[in-house]
Amino acid sequence: MLAAIAGAQVKFPAAYAPTNDIVLDNLVPVKMRDGVTLYADIYRPAKPGRHPVIVSRTPYSTERYPSAYDAALYFSRRGYAYVYQDVRGRHESDGKWEPFRNDIEDGYDTVEWAATQAWSNGKVGMEGGSYLGHVQWRAAMAKPPHLVCMVPRVASTSLYHNWITLNGGWRLSFNFGWGPVRQESRIMQNTGPHTIANGPEAISYANLLQHLPLNNMQELAGRHAQFYRDWLAHPDYDDYWKKINVEEMFDQIGIPVYTMGGWFDIFSAGTLNGYAGMAAKGKTDVARRQSRLLIGPWGHGSSRKFGEMDYGEHAHVDENAAQLRFFDYWLKGKDDGISKEPPVTLYVMGKNVWRQEKEYPLARTQYRKLFLSGNGALGWDAPAGVGKPDTYRYDPADPVPSTGGNNCCGTPTPAGPMDQRKLDSRKDILRYLTAPLDRDIEVTGPVKVVLHASSDCTDTDFIAKLIDVSPDGRAIPVAEGIVRARYRESLSRPRLLEPGKVYPFEINLVGTSNAFLRGHRIRVDLTSSHFPQFDRNPNTGDPFGSSAKTKVATQSIYHDAARASHILLPVIP
């Protein structure tokens, strides 16, 4: 049983050993409502009988690599029938591949099909990570009657807000790498003569990311993914995205959901929002009370090391074992104490301990402001009087290189907690720093920066990082966020800036759990680029993706009594 004492190191129980042999049925056809056939591999106990079912749906192929079916073997050897299906238009399944678009109906149809098979007891759960987690949320939106519970890991809840963009800032390296680069079946389409200027290296992933305008980048490499064109054509939060946003309908989902993820994962917002949304708005009392959250010091999956940090052997969690307890309770009626445990398990970095909580965000949180000042200081006292703003130039031709952060999956720059001293020579980053702390300060929960700023351009970006600076000078970011100026008021109704006018901007840094230890310093870095993790704002105000030209912007950050720029920290007493 997990330790329930706040501040104690949580003990994760080991899973029980396999209980049965299995049989495997390959290429089992599953007919969708529109006549399209999807194919699944079914792993199930060899002994005849009816078993609870776990459904997992993937665009990456059920046989892509040996570890692809680890979960199928793990759960089927412990008494579950495991339906492992290629999604529509991918690998063995028929139909047209269109990411996100058919997963609501196809998820419903697959769950209900699984519930009626001779080897099924009618109770169905879903599991899987990344896209395999996203499709669970899509299926839940359709409310299949036989879906009892699900475990979306490292998954987005709003494809617009926390996949394609982070609150409007276009996630260039991930979108292009996951989209045209990985999801098109051929590198070069047979579309006739194709001239490659400057040799084959010109179409390398890293070089392509340098290209402007964005809206013809993929064609340079012979890629022709229509879904990527559609993404570029919908940079605002409109009906194209709204209809697949589960955050719009948490109140219609009545099953318990166990979200798992990492503080440094690209989809950390989905992990946190998924739990918080279900706990606050779930359709049933069971959904609200029994949904769970597990979040560690990880990237796109559990580990002990990420970026340049080693959080210790205890930081890694066997995600299958954690899921097994949840599925055993809901699908088999087996309670090993999980129903009485606090629903939130989170890792507090700095202290490097697992802790259980009754909710997220934590009810005892004290939201405190740390104010920016003109000498690069960061303090608890609000500024007085009128002071000169801090200024810097942002040149899209020389962007701040992505150095760590919440990214994943083969992008060309390293993700995670990376030492920011690599960027010390940059003049286009403003750094605000507290004095060495005289006591530990734990920050756990949602973080945002409220910025009063102006630009001499009609559009631009502002990026903020929350950084833990240790006595030896190492500067490790623990949270980051972006705001695109045209979206300062609404992600659905962009408005350009009036050059020189001071505006308030809110930068959502998503969330973290980090103890800034005595002797450490809290730092906030402000800049206007984080490339190629986010696309470079050309500062022209042109429609998104269309600008081949750029302008240099002069940015001003204000921190006087009337315009007190600050970071709002969720301090845990």
Active site residues: 130, 265, 300
Cβ–Cβ < 8 Å for 218, 110:
no
Strands 366-372 and 566-572: antiparallel
How far from chain centre, in Å, is Cα 200? 33
- Hey, CA dihedral for 431, 432, 438, 444, is it positive or negative? negative
Cβ–Cβ < 8 Å for 58, 107:
no
**Residue 120 and residue 113: Cα distance in Å, rounded?**
10
Please provide the DSSP assignment of 237-275 as one string. Answer: --HHHHTT-GGG-GGG--S-BEEEEETTSTTHHHHHHHH
Amino acid at 560: D
**Residue 345 and residue 343: Cα distance in Å, rounded?**
7
Cβ–Cβ < 8 Å for 338, 326:
yes
Q: What are the tokens at 460?
A: 């631009």
Which SS3 state, helix, strand or coil, does residue 533 take?
Answer: coil
**Residue 152 and residue 480: Cα distance in Å, rounded?**
23
Fill in the DSSP letter of residue 179. Answer: I
Buried b vs exposed e over 260-283: b needs ≥16 C-beta within 10 Å?
A: bbbbbbbbbbbbbbbbbbbbeebb
Cα–Cα distance list, 30 to 37, 109, 329, 570, 573 (Å): 6, 9, 28, 48, 53
Strand partners, 150: 126, 257
Neighbours of 424 (CB within 10 A): 11
Q: Provide CB contacts within 8 A for 389, sequence distance 6+.
A: 374, 454, 556, 557, 558, 559
Dmax (CA) of the chain: 79
**Residue 35 and residue 133: Cα distance in Å, rounded?**
25
**Residue 39 and residue 219: Cα distance in Å, rounded?**
32
Cβ–Cβ < 8 Å for 325, 13:
yes
The pair phi, psi for residue 127, each rounded to 5°, is: -150, 165
